């Protein structure tokens, strides 16, 4: 059992949990993740480490409510316990060069944030590009703004905050002005795909943190398999970061959609159960 | 009183197994074989010739004293029978159910030369299942103050843990999943090995004083140096298995609806996807399911598909049924339940339907050539023999490879397949580290993994107590 020490709500649907996990705190690195199972009937879902403290023995993860499990998780409070947390899993993030663009889209901003923070701590010159469909879905703005960044760009599809448009607009400007040596991106597949194409034009290396569906997270099942450079890789043990230029994006998008119907059924049922209890 | 000499019931037929009717059982996850009654067990025990030089014992990888425990059954001394078996094998309820007895103990039984061998597996599981009734009193030597860490709670890890705990060692088992048992839990389905039995065996180990640390991934959450230097362990046994799936590497294999058996079985057995949405983990239910492979894992996947409601389950194999490595009983059960076996064909590609999920498989006919290194005739593709069958769920069960976490955890020598090199006692190149089970042999059987655990335990004991 893992005790929730602190719950922070960043916005309507975005939360951070600090949980007691001394051994995990000692071994966690930026870019690695953990798998959570809330209770006996729960599924296993991956979240990236947001922060950790080996002296105090805790780790933190950020999540956005997108389905049944994240909804149930958001209903837990300080002092409650989570049945299982497994980690650290995956390989730590490595980014080459001193000047790095960190690009985060939608829920991916929850992963981009700890990466940007860690790169700042490593003394790199970090530019962040935040993207979302609308202002309401743009998460962690204040947290990003508090980092010692070189640049902070915000784009929204509808122009409700920052620049109207997509993340590749500021990314292209950074590339054109020779302001970055490399890039890191995480978010929806189209956003990662087009960020990659932009970087490719300028021969700037780019790493993507991939987010396929996972079951065990330890390489045992191959559910998270992705095609990278024509080879089958398991995102949970070989990644989740890969050279974005080698990723088969269509394949990833296809596999992410495998359980759309079941996910919808699960959340609908949960909402009905909640309504009954009220 | 003069000793009454035992007279075997020569010529009596093998006592049949008690199986649920195929048509009914194939639709749910209840156990297929409900096991022998006491009367069945005694009748079967009376068939044993009580050989002076029992060949059956030679066929058992852990050397269970078979005639002795069968004698106890005849005497209706159930506690004595259990104690006799557990002297050599800590998991009789498991082994009696999943060992390929036809290649082991029963394969050597002298009665099998002319008729049917004694049903040793059925007797062993029956006695194992008596554990709750006879009430086992675990016996352990007093603590010797030495600490041993075991990585992996599959058959090899738990066999090693049990042996060491009985010898007075302080044992901790680190397990990556949230529950113990390894392949016994995530791999072998409920209808073949009820999970309550695995839970009972783990509880038995806890009663012997073994500690279990779940959610603990070796090489990520801890490593060998930390276990030795900070946690004070004196030795480490690596039993992480060979759980990484192999893929066919053909076109369309990444289409949604194409699973490898590990994922299909983990979702079903460990995460209970068959109870979705009571349980949160989903699984795709296919009408036409095609499984590739001829081993036990393929049989388990095919029979699982039936129980998930498939209308038609086809098992496609490169060779013929005669070459299938699966347990004979499981091939028989699978066919009885309606699994169709398509011999001599190999998948060429998976094709998607309009919804983007797999909908068709293209296959190629094979013929058998000369025997290969495994002694089985090698399948060779037949030119221009391609054909297609409908398929909305495909499951590949073509084997597994070494788990990489052993290497991340401890500095030990590996061979070119990533398996750990050991001597016959399980010693690795690192003097404080032993290894055994599938991570040393590659995918093999439950009982061989247990045998390796036992051997390593004996060697760890000898080495640590000599210090």
The verdict on a CB contact (< 8 Å) between A254 and B249 is no
Burial class (CB in 10 A: 0-12, 13-18, 19+), B369: exposed
- pLDDT at site B171: 98
Cα B385 from Cα B424, distance rounded (Å): 47
- pLDDT at site A223: 94
The residues facing A208 across adjacent strands are A185, A242
For B188-240, what is each residue's pLDDT tens digit?
A: 999 999 999 999 989 989 999 999 999 999 999 999 999 999 999 999 999 99
| Bond before B45 cis per omega within 30 degrees | no
- pLDDT at site B329: 87
Q: Which two tokens stand for residue B212?
A: 């279990």
DSSP classification of residue B222: B
Test mutation, A39, A67, A68, A219, chain B, max B CBs within 10 A: A219
State chain B's mean pLDDT as an integer. 93
Q: Which parts of chain A register pLDDT below 70?
A: 276-278
Find the angle CA(B442)-CA(B443)-CA(B448) to the nearest 5 degrees. 95
Other beta carbons less than 10 A from residue A254's beta carbon: 17
Confidence category of residue B27, pLDDT binned at 50, 70, 90? confident
Chain centroid to CA A106: how far? 9
Q: By CA distance, what is B267's nearest residue in A?
A: A215
Task: Find the CB nearest A220 among B221, B244, B253.
Answer: B244
The residues facing A185 across adjacent strands are A103, A208
For B70-97, what is each residue's pLDDT tens digit?
A: 999 999 999 999 999 998 888 899 999 9
Cα B283 from Cα A262, distance rounded (Å): 8
Q: Which two tokens stand for residue A239?
A: 């990644």
Other beta carbons less than 10 A from residue B170's beta carbon: 19
| Residues on chain B touching A255 (C-beta within 8 angstroms) | 254, 256
Helices assigned H by DSSP within B230-309 = 261-265, 296-307
Cα B401 from Cα B410, distance rounded (Å): 18
- pLDDT at site B380: 93
- A 254-273 residues with CB below 8 A of B? 254-255, 257-259, 262-263, 265-266, 269
Least confident of B133-142, B278-287, B381-390: B133-142
Residue that the structure tokens 């590009």 belong to = A129
A151-156/A163-164 β-pairing: parallel
The residues facing B379 across adjacent strands are B368
- pLDDT at site B467: 74
B417–chain A Cβ distance below 8 A for any pair: no
Cα A200 from Cα A183, distance rounded (Å): 11
Chain centroid to CA B119: how far? 19
- pLDDT at site A273: 81
The verdict on a CB contact (< 8 Å) between B276 and A221 is no
The verdict on a CB contact (< 8 Å) between A262 and B277 is yes
Sorted by sequence, the CB contacts under 8 Å of residue A228 that are 6+ apart come out as A238, A242, A243, A246, A247, A248
Residue that the structure tokens 């490719």 belong to = A200
Confidence category of residue B247, pLDDT binned at 50, 70, 90? very high
The residues facing A19 across adjacent strands are A4, A59
Cα A63 from Cα A45, distance rounded (Å): 11
Q: By CA distance, what is B175's nearest residue in A?
A: A86
Widest CA span in chain A? 58
Q: By CA distance, what is A221's nearest residue in B?
A: B263
- pLDDT at site A172: 96
- pLDDT at site B134: 84
- pLDDT at site A276: 67
| Bond before A88 cis per omega within 30 degrees | yes
Sorted by sequence, the CB contacts under 8 Å of residue B355 that are 6+ apart come out as none
Contact predicate B263/B395, CB 8 Å? no
Q: What are phi and psi of A257, to 5 degrees?
A: -90, 10
- pLDDT at site B82: 94
- Our CA-based measurement puts residue A16 at a distance from the nearest CA of chain B, in whole angstroms, of 21
Cα B201 from Cα B74, distance rounded (Å): 25
The verdict on a CB contact (< 8 Å) between A221 and B263 is yes
Q: Which two tokens stand for residue B9?
A: 């019931």
Sorted by sequence, the CB contacts under 8 Å of residue B155 that are 6+ apart come out as B91, B94, B182, B183, B184, B437, B446, B447, B449, B450, B453
Cα radius of gyration (chain A): 18
B295-298 long-range contacts, CB within 8 A, separation 24+: B295/B324, B295/B325, B295/B326, B295/B397, B295/B399, B296/B98, B296/B188, B296/B325, B296/B326, B296/B327, B296/B330, B297/B187, B297/B261, B297/B265, B297/B397, B298/B261, B298/B326, B298/B395, B298/B397
State the Cα torsion B193-B197-B203-B207 to the nearest 10°: -120
- A 53-82 residues with CB below 8 A of B? 68-69
Confidence category of residue B299, pLDDT binned at 50, 70, 90? very high
């Amino acid at each position: 059992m893992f005790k929730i020490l602190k719950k922070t709500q960043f916005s309507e649907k975005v939360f951070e949990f600090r949980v007691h996990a001394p051994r995990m705190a000692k071994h966690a690195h930026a870019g690695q993740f953990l798998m959570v199972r809330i209770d006996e009937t729960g599924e296993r879902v991956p979240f990236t480490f947001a922060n950790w403290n080996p002296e105090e023995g805790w780790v933190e993860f950020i999540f956005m409510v997108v389905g049944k499990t994240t909804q149930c998780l958001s209903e837990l409070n300080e002092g409650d316990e989570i049945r299982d947390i497994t980690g650290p899993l995956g390989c730590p993030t490595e980014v080459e060069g001193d000047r790095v663009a960190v690009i985060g889209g939608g829920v991916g901003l929850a992963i981009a944030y700890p990466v940007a923070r860690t790169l700042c701590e490593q003394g790199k010159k970090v530019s962040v590009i935040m993207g979302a469909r609308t202002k309401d879905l743009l998460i962690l703005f204040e947290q990003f703004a508090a980092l010692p960044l070189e640049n902070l760009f915000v784009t929204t599809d509808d122009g409700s905050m920052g620049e109207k448009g997509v993340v590749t607009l500021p990314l292209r400007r950074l590339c054109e002005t020779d302001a970055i040596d490399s890039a890191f991106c995480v978010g929806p597949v189209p956003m990662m795909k087009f960020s990659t194409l932009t970087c490719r034009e300028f021969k700037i290396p780019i790493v993507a943190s991939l987010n396929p569906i996972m079951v065990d997270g330890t390489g045992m099942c191959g559910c998270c398999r992705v095609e990278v450079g024509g080879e089958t890789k398991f995102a949970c043990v070989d990644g989740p970061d890969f050279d974005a230029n080698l990723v088969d994006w269509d394949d990833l998008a296809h596999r992410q959609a495998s359980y759309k119907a079941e996910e919808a059924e699960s959340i609908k049922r949960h909402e009905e159960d909640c309504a009954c209890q009220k | 009183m003069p000793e009454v000499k035992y007279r075997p019931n020569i010529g009596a037929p093998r006592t049949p197994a008690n199986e649920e009717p195929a048509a009914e059982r194939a639709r749910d996850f209840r156990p297929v074989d409900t096991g022998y009654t006491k009367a069945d067990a005694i009748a079967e025990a009376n068939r044993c010739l009580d050989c002076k030089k029992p060949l059956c014992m030679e066929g058992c990888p852990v050397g269970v004293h078979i005639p002795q425990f069968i004698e106890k059954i005849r005497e209706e001394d159930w506690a004595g029978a259990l104690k006799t078996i557990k002297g050599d094998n800590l998991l009789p309820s498991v082994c009696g159910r999943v060992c390929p007895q036809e290649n082991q103990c029963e394969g050597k039984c002298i009665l099998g030369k002319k008729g049917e061998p004694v049903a040793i597996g059925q007797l062993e599981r029956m006695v194992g299942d008596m554990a709750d009734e006879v009430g086992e009193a675990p016996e352990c030597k007093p603590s010797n103050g030495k600490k041993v860490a075991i990585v992996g709670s599959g058959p090899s890890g738990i066999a090693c843990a049990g042996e060491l705990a009985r010898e007075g060692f302080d044992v901790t088992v680190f397990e990556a999943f949230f529950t113990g048992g390894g392949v016994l839990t995530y791999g072998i389905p409920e209808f073949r090995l009820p999970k309550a039995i695995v839970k009972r065996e783990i509880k038995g180990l806890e009663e012997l004083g073994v500690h279990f640390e779940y959610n603990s991934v070796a090489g990520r959450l801890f490593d060998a140096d930390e276990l030795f230097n900070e946690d004070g362990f004196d030795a480490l046994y690596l039993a992480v298995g060979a759980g990484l799936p192999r893929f066919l590497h053909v076109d369309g294999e990444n289409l949604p609806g194409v699973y490898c058996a590990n994922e299909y079985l983990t979702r079903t057995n460990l995460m209970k996807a068959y109870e979705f949405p009571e349980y949160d983990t989903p699984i795709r239910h296919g009408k036409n399911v095609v499984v590739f492979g001829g081993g036990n894992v393929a049989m388990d996947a095919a029979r699982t598909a039936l129980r998930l409601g498939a209308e038609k389950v086809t098992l496609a194999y490169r060779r013929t049924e005669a070459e299938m490595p699966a347990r004979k009983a499981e091939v028989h059960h699978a066919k009885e339940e309606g699994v169709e076996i398509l011999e001599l064909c190999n998948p060429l590609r998976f094709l998607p339907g309009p919804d983007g999920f797999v909908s068709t498989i293209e296959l190629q006919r094979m013929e058998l050539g000369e025997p290969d290194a495994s002694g089985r005739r090698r399948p060779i593709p037949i030119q221009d023999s391609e054909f297609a069958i409908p398929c909305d769920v495909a499951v590949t069960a073509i084997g597994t490879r070494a788990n990489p976490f052993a290497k991340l955890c401890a500095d030990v020598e590996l061979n070119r397949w990533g398996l750990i090199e050991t001597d016959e006692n399980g010693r690795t190149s690192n003097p404080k580290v032993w290894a055994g089970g599938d991570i040393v042999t590659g995918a093999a059987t439950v009982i061989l993994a247990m045998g390796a655990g036992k051997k390593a335990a004996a060697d760890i004991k000898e080495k640590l107590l000599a210090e």
